[in-house]
Structure 1
Amino acid sequence: MTGPARFAPRTDRGRLLLVSSLAAAVTVFTATVPLLRDFFDLRVYYGTVHTWAAHGGRIYDYRVPGTMYGFTYPPFAALAMLPLALVGRNTAIVASLLVNLAALASVLRVLAGPGWRRYGWYRWSLLLCLLALFEPLRDTFSFGQVNLVLLALVLGDARLLAGGRDRWAGAGIGLAAAVKLTPALFIGLLLLAGRRRAAATATAVAAAATALAAWADPGASRHYWTEALWDTGRVGRLDYVSNQSLQGVLARLGEPGRPLWATAVLLTLCVWAWRGRRAVTAGDWTAAFALTGAAACLVSPITWVHHLVWLLPSFAVLWRAGHRRLAGALFAVLCTSVVWLWFDDASGPLGFVGSNTYTWIALALLLRLPTGQLRSARLPLDRSASATATAPSPESPPTTAVPDQPSSSSADPEVAAATGTAAGRDLARSPSSEPTGSTRPAASNPQSSSCRASSYTASPPPS
């Protein structure tokens, strides 16, 4: 026995002790080393909904007290968050944590595949300890963000498509696109795959949700689609180091012009279309969705670090394809908060490389992520089975197939997808003064780890 397995505990008691020790260490780390985000984004959602529903204010007029930040999502997102108007701030925080935990469980269930139970409580516990160190994920929980929920909705469609259950495929993507525009790229993936029905379902769901929001608040919808959508200044500075998109790279180079960015986006989408098409042709829906998540992070004008939870499927693909050291190395980099070393100054060659580290990882995944591994993973087993099969002898002639017997292709479609049969059939950083780096007069710091109590009150003033 070599490697880490040599030092792994062999008894349940030893495993429980190891998991408990790791969980305690991770808890201490997350409570002391990274900046706690004080549920800043949740405060935006909470304040917006309370102002809108309880005080008769307008969705896009609300600002978190002491900041310039307000609601930036489409109006349907505010409509979906209306239950926040019925609860207090602390209850909203607990609800956010529970919803994100449920979304994470759903994401891991899909990425693990049909045999998820075989990993047992020990391996799942170790994985959760590791995921708690993953900067995009811990920021998602600490901000009270929604991207993990959107990822769960999108991957739900990946599971349906891989299992050949097309009736409701696309609904999750449509809902996600109605809440936030970035997941709309997955509709493009469905079109690339020739899944017109699923693409139509996603488009119809997104359109219906958008129309419902327009009915609920026509003024807010008109303002969003004609003004707020095009004003990136509402979200934050493009050159802020947390913006790990192509636009962020160009802005930090002093080249924020739209023509150059549009060219970079077009080239990226061409690479995505080529690689995504190859993945769906091979029936590898997990890789296709992983490539689309990486591409969406790159082409979005603003991709904050916590948005990079969309890269999680890529690590599952790398692990499944046998590139475990590479997956571990990239994962470790995304746990380091390394980009924040260039928070004050990203100039020079080292600044160019270091401040955009997460962008380079997303770009590398788009270019080199293995595809078609579901099918190729069966080949060694097939060769082994054929090599060890007993040759027919005169005393025992070879058997012949009985036409009336059910074939192996009639097995559960989800299990078949995981083995490749259905696939062939179906296509410690420095504290920042702002969460998004916007320029404003000095005010209370929403991200500071030294000031973790929310400055938001349960009853925001009417606008």
Structure 2
Amino acid sequence: MTGRWRGPGLPGRLGEPGPRTDRGRLLLVLLLAAAVTVFTATVPLLRGFFDLRVYYGTVHTWVHHGGRIYDYRVPGTAYGFTYPPFAAVAMLPLALLGRTAAIVVSLLVNLAALAVVLRVLAGPHRRRHGWYRWALCLCLLALFEPLRDTVSFGQVNLVLLALVLGDAWLLASGRGRWAGAGIGLAAAVKLTPALFVGLLLLAGRRRAAGTATAVALAATALAAWADPAASRFYWTEALWDTGRVGRLDYVSNQSLQGVLARLGETGRPLWATAVLLTLCVWAWRARRAVAAGDWAAAFALTGAAACLVSPITWVHHLVWLLPSFAVLVRAGHPRVAAALYAVLCTSVVWLWFDDASGLDGFLGGNLYTWISLGLLLGLPVGQSRAPRFPLARSTSATAPAPSPDSPATTAVPDQSESSSGATAAATGVADAAGREECGRSPSSEPTGSTRPSAAKPQSSRERASSYTVNPPPA
């Protein structure tokens, strides 16, 4: 039995304050757009599409020069490809493009993914919000540090989020036959989204979980067929070498392991214990959310938990927190959502780029981690009864009232995949109102620093050659 997509959409009063006329509203939007543009252009926040350079150089080396996927390094740096082999297979179209064309395609793909995310989050009543509210929303989103870094790095986070939310829409709209495929593809590209398979299992969505697992395994097998040596190297060596990704104690690593590394605790047992405790809290809270029919909170909790338990969670990975802000708004806490969102626009953690020691470094240098942990522990659950999904598919918005001859019965939800169409409706949540803008200074650090470049191998954009623009002849 399936339900209809009835996400809570945008807050009902978002955009009502301000000019009353269309002309005044257009002027305000233009001013805000100009301010965001000037901010982006004058405060050097652009990352030089560093991660896209990694993808581009890896694929071109592999396809055109017979190189190996995991041997490539961006010239002048120690950074190369760190994703599972299927990610390289999925990026093969880059082999047909020049570098400028690859940047254009990256921008278009990210914009399309953002459109999908916003469409799913807004629910079926997205048109009622009007151009004014959507314009304000886009201006605010442009200031969100994880989002702007995803775009300017040429990263794939938005695409993965769109794939997961696509499954949400499929399950909630009664098109659940292929539900789970998006999560499976996302997990084959990056391992972090695999935690959503665990959510499907907790929710009793065995068919969707099976589909996600099968798709991930099929994609992994395809990559093994395309390049057996690369697959063998990744799963036996590269996966376990976090040094290939970056320094664990680097301030951009806002995961639990990043916190421990900055404290000088690099032992795996302590980190494993912290991860286990976090997953126990996540399972407990996610089950409560599922039992209450609060799928939005369940998916938001999963995104926060994934950011915490991943060995490395760069700042741009924190786009997985967006559903949490919307859940806060829906639950009647817009000021809390706005405050947390504003903090994630500030790049404040970079104040402790050079030295995260002391109490101030422990609190401030890990502030994004504390936000993720706070959301995992305190996000309201069981408060989405109003947009709850009907258990049975129906053309009517409401069920007929029971008659004395036919007393009402209580439906016992089936725990199979088709029992409720709301599994991934988790992300049918609202955009947080009252978000604020701010920002800091730049860096070419490939992991997302907004600090000026440091004279070390990680800060490499100035020294990188034009290899990926004009690759050497075979």
TM-score range, shorter chain: 0.7 to 0.9
Deviations 1:202-238 (A, max 9, x none): 0000000000000011011001001111110000000
What CA distance in whole angstroms lies between the structure 1 residues aligned with 2:327 and 2:283? Answer: 18
The 3 A distance-change label for structure 1 pair 444 and 60 is closer
The 3 A distance-change label for structure 1 pair 162 and 444 is closer
CA drift of 1:374 comes to 2.2
CA drift of 1:445 comes to 4.1
Q: Which deviates more, 162-171 or 361-370?
A: 162-171
The 3 A distance-change label for structure 1 pair 107 and 350 is same
Note if 1:436 corresponds to 2:441.
no
Alignment partner of 2:325: what SS? helix
Q: How many residues align?
A: 422
What CA distance in whole angstroms lies between the structure 1 residues aligned with 2:97 and 2:162? Answer: 24
Note if 1:153 corresponds to 2:163.
yes
Which of 345, 348, 352 is equivalent to 2:362? 352
Note if 1:341 corresponds to 2:341.
no
Alignment partner of 2:385: what SS? helix
Tell me the equivalent position of 2:255: 245
Note if 1:139 corresponds to 2:149.
yes
> Where do 1:246-261 residues align within 5 Å?
246-261=256-271
What CA distance in whole angstroms lies between the structure 1 residues aligned with 2:173 and 2:276? Answer: 32
Q: Which deviates more, 30-39 or 347-356?
A: 30-39
Tell me the equivalent position of 2:83: 73
Alignment partner of 2:216: what SS? helix
Tell me the equivalent position of 2:117: 107
The 3 A distance-change label for structure 1 pair 32 and 440 is closer
Which of 116, 122, 137 is equivalent to 1:127? 137
Output the amino acid matched with 1:328: A
What CA distance in whole angstroms lies between the structure 2 residues aligned with 1:446 and 1:101? Answer: 27
Tell me the equivalent position of 1:90: 100
> How much identity, in percent, do the aligned residues show?
81
* Counterpart contact for 2:76–2:463, Cα < 8 Å: no
CA drift of 1:436 comes to 3.4
* Counterpart contact for 1:341–1:429, Cα < 8 Å: no
CA drift of 1:323 comes to 0.8
Alignment partner of 2:231: what SS? helix
The 3 A distance-change label for structure 1 pair 60 and 8 is same
What CA distance in whole angstroms lies between the structure 2 residues aligned with 1:5 and 1:301? Answer: 39
Tell me the equivalent position of 1:26: 36
The 3 A distance-change label for structure 1 pair 461 and 279 is farther
CA drift of 1:338 comes to 0.2
> Where do 1:376-415 residues align within 5 Å?
376=386
* Structure 1 length-normalised TM: 0.85
Higher helix share: 1
What CA distance in whole angstroms lies between the structure 2 residues aligned with 1:189 and 1:117? Answer: 31
What CA distance in whole angstroms lies between the structure 2 residues aligned with 1:250 and 1:365? Answer: 20
Deviations 1:229-256 (A, max 9, x none): 1110000000000000000000000101
What CA distance in whole angstroms lies between the structure 2 residues aligned with 1:253 and 1:193? Answer: 36
Note if 1:314 corresponds to 2:324.
yes
What CA distance in whole angstroms lies between the structure 2 residues aligned with 1:193 and 1:262? Answer: 25
Which of 196, 212, 219 is equivalent to 1:202? 212
CA drift of 1:443 comes to 5.8
Note if 1:457 corresponds to 2:468.
yes
Pick 1 or 2: higher relative contact order, CA cutoff 8 A, min separation 6: 2
Deviations 1:377-403 (A, max 9, x none): 68xxxxxxxxxxxxxxxxxxx996999
Tell me the equivalent position of 1:264: 274
Alignment partner of 2:25: what SS? helix
Output the amino acid matched with 2:302: T
Note if 1:220 corresponds to 2:230.
yes
Output the amino acid matched with 1:319: V
CA drift of 1:279 comes to 1.4
Q: Which deviates more, 297-306 or 102-111?
A: 102-111
Question: RMSD in angstroms over aligned alpha carbons?
Answer: 2.9
* Counterpart contact for 2:297–2:327, Cα < 8 Å: yes
What CA distance in whole angstroms lies between the structure 2 residues aligned with 1:36 and 1:97? Answer: 13
Deviations 1:393-425 (A, max 9, x none): xxxxx996999xxxxxxxxx9xx969x9xx9xx
What CA distance in whole angstroms lies between the structure 1 residues aligned with 2:15 and 2:441? Answer: 37
The 3 A distance-change label for structure 1 pair 227 and 37 is same
Alignment partner of 2:178: what SS? coil
Q: Which deviates more, 315-324 or 62-71?
A: 315-324
The 3 A distance-change label for structure 1 pair 251 and 90 is same
Output the amino acid matched with 2:197: I
Q: Which deviates more, 294-303 or 113-122?
A: 113-122
* Counterpart contact for 1:9–1:15, Cα < 8 Å: yes
CA drift of 1:156 comes to 1.2
Tell me the equivalent position of 1:296: 306
CA drift of 1:373 comes to 2.5
What CA distance in whole angstroms lies between the structure 1 residues aligned with 2:14 and 2:169? Answer: 32
Runs (5+) with no aligned partner, structure 1? 379-397, 404-412
* Counterpart contact for 1:66–1:444, Cα < 8 Å: no
What CA distance in whole angstroms lies between the structure 1 residues aligned with 2:315 and 2:447? Answer: 10
